Amino acid sequence: MNKKVQLQDLGNKDYKATWDFQEELFANIVDVKIKNRRDNQEEETPNYFLYVEHPHVYTLGKSGDISNLLLSEKQLEAKGATFYKINRGGDITYHGPGQIVGYPIIDLENFFTDIHKYLRFLEEAIILTLAEYNIIGARSEGETGVWLGVGTPFARKICAMGVRASRWVTMHGFALNVNADLGYFDNIIPCGIKGKAVTSMHVELGKEVDEEEVKRKIVKHFSDLFDAEMIN
Protein backbone atom coordinates (compact mmCIF):
# COMPACT_ATOMS: atom_id res chain seq x y z
CA MET A 1 0.00 0.00 0.00
CA ASN A 2 1.37 3.37 -1.06
CA LYS A 3 0.73 5.96 1.64
CA LYS A 4 2.72 8.70 -0.07
CA VAL A 5 0.56 11.61 -1.27
CA GLN A 6 1.95 14.11 -3.78
CA LEU A 7 0.99 17.64 -2.76
CA GLN A 8 0.57 20.19 -5.55
CA ASP A 9 -0.58 23.80 -5.24
CA LEU A 10 -1.99 24.90 -8.59
CA GLY A 11 -2.45 28.54 -7.50
CA ASN A 12 -5.31 30.40 -9.19
CA LYS A 13 -6.60 28.14 -11.96
CA ASP A 14 -9.70 27.97 -14.14
CA TYR A 15 -12.27 25.46 -12.90
CA LYS A 16 -12.59 23.51 -16.16
CA ALA A 17 -8.81 23.28 -16.65
CA THR A 18 -8.49 21.96 -13.08
CA TRP A 19 -11.35 19.51 -13.57
CA ASP A 20 -9.65 18.18 -16.71
CA PHE A 21 -6.38 17.79 -14.77
CA GLN A 22 -8.22 15.94 -11.98
CA GLU A 23 -9.82 13.62 -14.54
CA GLU A 24 -6.39 12.89 -16.04
CA LEU A 25 -4.85 11.97 -12.66
CA PHE A 26 -7.96 9.98 -11.72
CA ALA A 27 -7.91 8.02 -15.01
CA ASN A 28 -4.19 7.24 -14.63
CA ILE A 29 -4.75 5.72 -11.16
CA VAL A 30 -7.74 3.69 -12.39
CA ASP A 31 -5.69 2.46 -15.40
CA VAL A 32 -2.94 1.18 -13.08
CA LYS A 33 -5.55 -0.68 -10.99
CA ILE A 34 -7.16 -2.25 -14.06
CA LYS A 35 -3.75 -3.29 -15.42
CA ASN A 36 -2.77 -4.77 -12.04
CA ARG A 37 -5.90 -6.92 -11.94
CA ARG A 38 -5.67 -7.94 -15.57
CA ASP A 39 -1.98 -8.86 -15.47
CA ASN A 40 -1.87 -10.02 -11.85
CA GLN A 41 0.68 -7.31 -11.00
CA GLU A 42 1.19 -5.13 -7.94
CA GLU A 43 2.31 -1.78 -9.33
CA GLU A 44 1.80 0.96 -6.73
CA THR A 45 -0.97 3.44 -7.41
CA PRO A 46 -0.06 7.12 -6.88
CA ASN A 47 -2.03 9.51 -4.64
CA TYR A 48 -2.41 13.28 -5.10
CA PHE A 49 -3.65 16.23 -3.06
CA LEU A 50 -4.29 19.36 -5.13
CA TYR A 51 -4.77 22.84 -3.70
CA VAL A 52 -6.32 25.45 -5.97
CA GLU A 53 -8.11 28.78 -5.92
CA HIS A 54 -10.72 29.22 -8.67
CA PRO A 55 -11.97 32.37 -10.35
CA HIS A 56 -15.70 32.93 -9.57
CA VAL A 57 -17.58 29.77 -10.55
CA TYR A 58 -20.76 27.89 -9.63
CA THR A 59 -20.81 24.10 -9.89
CA LEU A 60 -23.81 21.76 -9.75
CA GLY A 61 -23.44 18.13 -8.64
CA LYS A 62 -25.06 15.25 -10.51
CA SER A 63 -27.99 15.05 -8.07
CA GLY A 64 -28.37 18.84 -7.96
CA ASP A 65 -31.31 21.00 -9.02
CA ILE A 66 -30.55 23.76 -11.55
CA SER A 67 -33.29 25.90 -9.94
CA ASN A 68 -30.88 26.38 -7.00
CA LEU A 69 -28.87 28.69 -9.28
CA LEU A 70 -30.65 32.04 -9.03
CA LEU A 71 -28.87 33.75 -11.94
CA SER A 72 -29.47 33.81 -15.68
CA GLU A 73 -26.64 33.31 -18.16
CA LYS A 74 -26.41 37.09 -18.66
CA GLN A 75 -26.32 37.76 -14.92
CA LEU A 76 -23.54 35.19 -14.52
CA GLU A 77 -21.56 36.98 -17.20
CA ALA A 78 -22.13 40.35 -15.54
CA LYS A 79 -20.71 38.96 -12.28
CA GLY A 80 -17.68 37.54 -14.08
CA ALA A 81 -18.70 34.02 -13.04
CA THR A 82 -18.95 30.72 -14.90
CA PHE A 83 -21.17 27.66 -14.35
CA TYR A 84 -20.54 23.92 -14.75
CA LYS A 85 -22.65 20.81 -14.20
CA ILE A 86 -20.20 18.23 -12.90
CA ASN A 87 -19.82 14.59 -11.85
CA ARG A 88 -19.44 14.89 -8.06
CA GLY A 89 -22.11 14.25 -5.45
CA GLY A 90 -24.01 17.10 -3.83
CA ASP A 91 -25.96 20.05 -5.15
CA ILE A 92 -24.79 23.57 -6.06
CA THR A 93 -21.87 25.44 -4.60
CA TYR A 94 -19.64 28.44 -5.28
CA HIS A 95 -15.87 28.66 -5.64
CA GLY A 96 -13.87 31.86 -5.82
CA PRO A 97 -10.95 33.94 -4.54
CA GLY A 98 -10.31 33.72 -0.82
CA GLN A 99 -11.50 30.13 -0.69
CA ILE A 100 -9.19 27.16 -0.14
CA VAL A 101 -10.20 24.29 -2.42
CA GLY A 102 -8.65 20.86 -1.86
CA TYR A 103 -8.93 17.92 -4.24
CA PRO A 104 -7.54 14.64 -2.86
CA ILE A 105 -7.21 12.19 -5.77
CA ILE A 106 -6.26 9.07 -3.89
CA ASP A 107 -6.63 5.32 -4.13
CA LEU A 108 -8.55 4.47 -0.96
CA GLU A 109 -7.26 0.90 -1.20
CA ASN A 110 -3.94 2.40 -0.05
CA PHE A 111 -5.68 3.56 3.13
CA PHE A 112 -9.12 2.01 3.83
CA THR A 113 -12.12 1.07 1.70
CA ASP A 114 -14.91 3.08 3.29
CA ILE A 115 -16.26 6.15 1.49
CA HIS A 116 -18.19 7.33 4.57
CA LYS A 117 -15.05 7.17 6.68
CA TYR A 118 -13.25 9.09 3.92
CA LEU A 119 -15.80 11.92 4.04
CA ARG A 120 -15.73 11.99 7.85
CA PHE A 121 -11.91 12.23 7.79
CA LEU A 122 -12.06 15.14 5.32
CA GLU A 123 -14.53 16.89 7.61
CA GLU A 124 -12.34 16.11 10.64
CA ALA A 125 -9.26 17.64 8.97
CA ILE A 126 -11.22 20.89 8.58
CA ILE A 127 -12.75 20.73 12.08
CA LEU A 128 -9.29 20.27 13.63
CA THR A 129 -7.88 23.13 11.53
CA LEU A 130 -10.68 25.50 12.56
CA ALA A 131 -10.14 24.55 16.21
CA GLU A 132 -6.61 25.97 15.95
CA TYR A 133 -8.27 29.35 15.34
CA ASN A 134 -10.78 28.82 18.18
CA ILE A 135 -13.59 28.27 15.67
CA ILE A 136 -15.83 25.37 16.72
CA GLY A 137 -16.74 23.43 13.59
CA ALA A 138 -19.12 20.46 13.62
CA ARG A 139 -21.03 18.05 11.44
CA SER A 140 -24.73 18.56 10.74
CA GLU A 141 -26.66 15.28 10.60
CA GLY A 142 -27.56 14.33 7.03
CA GLU A 143 -25.58 17.25 5.56
CA THR A 144 -22.01 16.77 4.35
CA GLY A 145 -19.46 19.46 5.14
CA VAL A 146 -18.50 21.50 8.19
CA TRP A 147 -20.88 23.84 9.99
CA LEU A 148 -20.85 26.33 12.85
CA GLY A 149 -23.68 26.81 15.33
CA VAL A 150 -25.27 23.42 14.60
CA GLY A 151 -28.53 23.00 16.51
CA THR A 152 -29.03 26.77 16.88
CA PRO A 153 -31.04 29.22 14.76
CA PHE A 154 -27.65 30.57 13.58
CA ALA A 155 -26.34 27.42 11.86
CA ARG A 156 -23.98 28.39 9.03
CA LYS A 157 -21.79 26.43 6.64
CA ILE A 158 -18.07 27.21 6.47
CA CYS A 159 -16.86 24.29 4.34
CA ALA A 160 -18.65 22.51 1.49
CA MET A 161 -17.75 18.99 0.35
CA GLY A 162 -18.59 16.89 -2.67
CA VAL A 163 -16.69 13.89 -3.95
CA ARG A 164 -16.75 11.27 -6.65
CA ALA A 165 -15.34 7.78 -6.15
CA SER A 166 -14.97 4.90 -8.60
CA ARG A 167 -12.94 1.71 -8.06
CA TRP A 168 -12.07 3.29 -4.68
CA VAL A 169 -10.34 6.24 -6.40
CA THR A 170 -11.53 9.69 -5.28
CA MET A 171 -11.73 13.11 -6.91
CA HIS A 172 -13.26 16.54 -6.17
CA GLY A 173 -13.15 17.40 -2.45
CA PHE A 174 -13.70 20.37 -0.14
CA ALA A 175 -13.98 24.16 -0.30
CA LEU A 176 -13.22 26.11 2.89
CA ASN A 177 -14.29 29.75 3.05
CA VAL A 178 -11.32 31.65 4.44
CA ASN A 179 -11.40 35.21 3.05
CA ALA A 180 -14.09 34.59 0.41
CA ASP A 181 -16.63 37.23 -0.69
CA LEU A 182 -19.79 35.67 0.73
CA GLY A 183 -21.98 37.90 -1.43
CA TYR A 184 -21.56 35.38 -4.26
CA PHE A 185 -23.49 32.80 -2.20
CA ASP A 186 -26.57 35.05 -2.39
CA ASN A 187 -26.96 33.95 -6.01
CA ILE A 188 -27.59 30.29 -5.12
CA ILE A 189 -29.37 28.11 -2.60
CA PRO A 190 -26.09 26.65 -1.25
CA CYS A 191 -26.04 22.84 -1.43
CA GLY A 192 -29.80 23.06 -2.09
CA ILE A 193 -30.47 23.76 1.60
CA LYS A 194 -32.88 26.64 2.15
CA GLY A 195 -32.68 28.88 5.20
CA LYS A 196 -29.07 28.06 6.11
CA ALA A 197 -26.41 30.75 5.98
CA VAL A 198 -22.77 30.53 4.94
CA THR A 199 -19.79 32.03 6.71
CA SER A 200 -16.01 32.31 6.47
CA MET A 201 -13.02 32.32 8.81
CA HIS A 202 -12.60 36.03 8.01
CA VAL A 203 -16.16 36.81 9.13
CA GLU A 204 -15.94 34.66 12.27
CA LEU A 205 -12.59 36.10 13.37
CA GLY A 206 -13.19 39.66 12.18
CA LYS A 207 -9.85 39.79 10.39
CA GLU A 208 -8.04 38.62 7.27
CA VAL A 209 -6.63 35.09 7.63
CA ASP A 210 -3.30 33.82 6.29
CA GLU A 211 -4.41 31.26 3.69
CA GLU A 212 -0.98 29.64 3.34
CA GLU A 213 -0.94 28.96 7.07
CA VAL A 214 -4.43 27.40 6.88
CA LYS A 215 -3.29 25.16 4.00
CA ARG A 216 -0.34 23.91 6.03
CA LYS A 217 -2.60 23.09 8.98
CA ILE A 218 -5.10 21.19 6.80
CA VAL A 219 -2.29 19.11 5.25
CA LYS A 220 -0.91 18.28 8.70
CA HIS A 221 -4.29 17.04 9.94
CA PHE A 222 -5.01 15.19 6.67
CA SER A 223 -1.62 13.48 6.95
CA ASP A 224 -2.24 12.46 10.59
CA LEU A 225 -5.77 11.17 9.96
CA PHE A 226 -4.88 9.17 6.85
CA ASP A 227 -1.47 8.10 8.18
CA ALA A 228 -0.13 9.53 4.93
CA GLU A 229 3.28 10.88 3.97
CA MET A 230 2.86 14.19 2.15
CA ILE A 231 5.42 14.75 -0.62
CA ASN A 232 5.98 18.16 -2.23
Taking only the tens place, the pLDDT of each residue in 156-187 is 999 999 899 999 999 999 999 999 999 998 88
Q: Quick one: pLDDT band at residue 190, thresholds 50, 70, 90? A: low
Known binding residue 112? Answer is no
Query: Does 151 show up as a binding residue in the annotation?
Result: no
| Backbone phi and psi for residue 201, each to the nearest 5 degrees, phi listed first | -60, -40
Burial class (CB within 10 angstroms; exposed 0-12, middle 13-18, buried 19+) of 83: middle
Q: State pLDDT tens for residues 96-146.
A: 999 999 999 999 999 999 999 999 999 999 999 999 999 999 999 888 899
Question: Please, which contacts does 137-144 make with residues 24 or more away whose CB atoms are closer than 8 Å?
Answer: 143/191, 143/193, 144/89, 144/90, 144/119
- Measured CA to CA, the distance from residue 180 to residue 162 in angstroms comes to 19
Alpha-carbon distance 113 to 167, whole Å? 10
CATH numeric code, 4-231: 3.30.930.10
| Range with lowest mean pLDDT among 9-18, 26-35, 37-46, 77-86 | 77-86
Does 11 appear as a known binding residue? no
CB 3 within 8 A of CB 209: no
Given this model, what pLDDT does residue 133 score? 98
Q: What 8-state DSSP symbol labels residue 108? A: G
Question: 170 and 104 in contact (C-beta within 8 Å)?
Answer: yes
pLDDT at 219: 98
The response to whether 95 counts as a known ligand-binding position is yes
CB atoms within 10 A of CB 142: 6
Q: Is 192 annotated as a binding residue?
A: no
Q: Does 121 count as an annotated binding residue?
A: no
The whole-angstrom separation of Cα 74 and Cα 219 is 38
Q: Which residues, 6+ apart, have CB-to-CB distance to 207 below 8 Å?
A: none
Please state which of the ranges 13-22, 35-44, 190-199, 209-218 shows the lowest mean pLDDT: 190-199
Using the predicted structure, report yes or no on whether residue 194 has a pLDDT greater than 80. no
Instruction: Sort 11 into a burial class: Cβ within 10 Å, 0-12 / 13-18 / 19+.
Output: exposed
Active-site positions?
191
Residue 96 annotated as binding? Answer: no
